[in-house]
Chain A
């Protein structure tokens, strides 16, 4: 599999570390159910999924990668810093 890092270009997937679904962190003061969902519950769709990958052997960027889990097609890659995943603080 190959992922196009916005900073480094197209690279072999061995350079990346996989974290999991890209979710928006609940806001400060959110109830425990919201946190439980953020930490533990996952959709696991067969199809497009937003994921977080870390370019560990490259530029250390966290990336939001949209990947079709059924075909491994990479539909979109963007810097996680531009993806608005931090939630309200």
Chain B
């Protein structure tokens, strides 16, 4: 019910929204919960386990009950807290965990079966037979469990991530936070003030206590105006700080557009849904306030039973009275403000029940002292409560019970770096330990200081402390007068009696469940939590954990500090994975790298292959070719018979210069480069320090102190880091510098018997066996462009690689293709490149798989005996040179079924096909059009000694079981005459 003239929203615009299909009116600035209460809707959802009717309990992000679903399809948001979701024109929200409707929920039968669903129910019931677990129990439990549901569609919303930096991060904008921000801001510090609510002010918006002779919210408004005018202060509303991390890093979730109607139409909306901030703060002031805790008594979960502080918030901020005959149940003085404020607003107070005999007298209403509420009645909303006092039990009619068991300081962020909170007796609550988070100071209610004056004082002091550390001068704090009433609280966690008294509303955990856990010896608070599910799910037990452990302490005969708390972990409020991973979907997750030849390849209909982030042409289909194999065979053949063109720019290219360049290369590679002649290229093998092969590639010496080395496409980044390691960490005194030039040069293989002829029309220089002998290199003028020409071959043919600055890559590729095609050649892709190199027994990272040694590859001869190189000592271990290691061989099929598949394992014919008989495995395979049969490369035990033997090839994945002959890995032109000629 909305009270005219009450609340801070005078003159606010009316807004239409719907809940469970019913259209209603609210006011701008209302949360969904406030607007529903204004429409006298208390029943908002159903509980997790028993499907009990539930209403809103709180007015903040700790809300356990009033969770709703908004949006549909890819925009569906489950478990939206009605206490945070602001209404907007056209908002459609619905209850969850109920069917067919929140009023009549079929699953409410669970409540009747409650005796069976006690603590540990799952563990006791679904134990046997074991086979039932996967097929029956788990699907059944999964189906019944959970609150809101996902739509199953891809999330259509956009998220952002952002970084921010500041001197002081102030978390929370109540009196302590505002005072801290003012003090720090006035001293000139860079301040970020984060507030999870849509409006700054914290409890000042919910209370009527005055500051400096004016209403608290007016003081807050003035403070905010002052802060807003400061260039060094950034105010962030709807931003919950979710975690504290090392070195002053904080995570924060900004709800950017949940409150805006256009988000739900997407079109025209350019705002993300949420933004996840990483804030690097030199210092932080935690002023996160406190969360009021309920009292456990029989049936304390009915709609209409709410936190006393929340009732004040609905009344004083939104002008909404949650009932017409309100009762209050409390154990502390502060809660009496609820009765006072309601009475002054003209709402009837049926009674105030205080568990303390020395409770204060209030205003024009009855205060029953030394009494307890021991039960409630009503169907979908509370209708009456039962009060037990020295005079016996008495029933009081009421439609709203405000309760307060005291306040729990929000210590969560102080515990994210492993600190445990400490028990403070006078406020019966856990408060942050001193120095819990380096650089963080706590102030106000989160520190256990519950008066407004105390909050202002601590806020100013916290800021002064931080400013001193920053070396800034703090002006003497000018603290306004404010309420400084004593808190006065007496312990009251659970009212004794029969029946179910709820602790954790969200997970349906009762006092009885916690006691049962204790009886079954789940005495540790962490065990109790897992056994009962206390404190799990979206609210993480924000209002219930302390009461639950108090009950556990009582049941196990320990004190509360002895019992201890469970572990507080980030995030403080639920954070969508989409927000944390913002930007990391599709291309954002995996950026695409395109070659300079990409456009031309696409134009020719090439099928693309992803190689790391690169896209490379796999093959270029011609009209009439119906399978990749046809294209691949043709491309292999054109290289063998004429000339083929292939973009090889993806190989890592590192430009190495300096007097010690050769020395560094000698150190990196097993073989020697310092002796390489200028104008020559050499193949090199690189080991890891543990002696296994890391990478291979060719290096060209362009000048005395200038080399260009190439890495494989896959290992380019790894090799660069390895090389930096060698140069910076191991040999900082060497005179050598290097940089990646992979993207600066476009490089094309020109391979085949007609390659020399093609190049002679293309480059200005005369290309012949003298000027560019096999493994020769040098500068070349490519159609007027200064480029480089290398006579190297990855196909076994007479071949070159021609390189030009990347900006000429596209045009050179087109020109090369035009000339090649005129000579009966053309483009070839990765498939053909792979077949060509397998025919020659040349290795790639299919062979260099991290477990092979130079010896396995038959390259032990490349390991120089004359010099030290990375990995040399470890490569000499006898196990790495053992004859029975799996070593590189070639395979060709024998018999009728001719198939070789990569990944297949090899066995001696007659042996069982079992792991212990494994003789090796196939690393690369393809069909050789040159030889007319499939070929493969494999690692086989004692391989080179078994040439001519027959092995059995088994590939369970593809259902292949065939025989192969072990042959030399070089299938074609073993003497290498074609490449050298």
Contacts and interface: CB of A to CB of B under 8 A. Distances in A.
Interface of A: 1-2, 10, 12, 17, 19, 25-26, 28, 30, 32, 35-36, 38-40, 52, 54, 56, 60-62, 71-74, 79-83, 85-87, 89
Interface string B716-743: 0000110011001111100000000000
B728 A61 contact: yes
B740 to A, nearest CB: 10
Contact of A81 (B248, B720, B732): B732
Interface string B261-281: 000000000000000001010
A79 B725 CA distance: 11
A32 B873 contact: yes
A79 B727 CA distance: 12
Nearest to B278: A12
Given A54-B724, A74-B247, A86-B731, 15 more contacts: A1-B245, A2-B249, A12-B163, A32-B873, A32-B874, A35-B874, A36-B874, A62-B724, A62-B728, A62-B729, A71-B417, A72-B246, A81-B729, A86-B729, A89-B730
A30 B872 CA distance: 11
Given A32-B877, A39-B874, A73-B438, A80 B728 contact: yes
B663 to A, nearest CB: 10
Contacts of B163: 12
Contacts of B246: 1-2, 72-73
Contact of A79 (B728, B873, B874): B728
Contact of B721 (A12, A17, A35, A85): A17
Interface residues of B, number: 26
Given A17-B721, A32-B877, A39-B689, A81 B728 contact: yes
B554 interface: no
Contacts of A83: 729
Interface string B408-421: 00000000010000
A86 B249 contact: no
A-B pairs, top 8 by smallest CB distance, nearest first, are: A81-B732, A2-B247, A86-B730, A1-B246, A72-B246, A80-B729, A35-B873, A81-B728
A82 B507 CA distance: 57
A54 to B, nearest CB: 6
Contacts of B278: 12
Contact of A72 (B247, B689, B720, B724): B247
Interface of B: 163, 245-249, 278, 280, 417, 438, 689-690, 720-721, 724-725, 728-732, 868, 873-874, 876-877
Contact of A12 (B249, B689, B728): B249
Contacts of A10: 280
A19 B720 CA distance: 14
Nearest to A85: B729
Contacts of B438: 73
A1 B247 contact: yes
Contacts of A1: 245-247, 249
A85 B733 CA distance: 12
Task: Give the residue among A40, A52, A54, A82 with the most B Cβ atoms within 10 A.
Answer: A54
Contacts of A74: 247
Nearest to B872: A28
Contacts of A30: 873
A24 to B, nearest CB: 10
6 contacts: A12-B278, A39-B874, A52-B725, A62-B725, A85-B729, A86-B732
A26 B874 CA distance: 12
Determine which residue in B247, B438, B877 has the highest number of CB atoms from chain A within 10 A of its CB, and name it.
Answer: B247
Contacts of B732: 80-82, 86
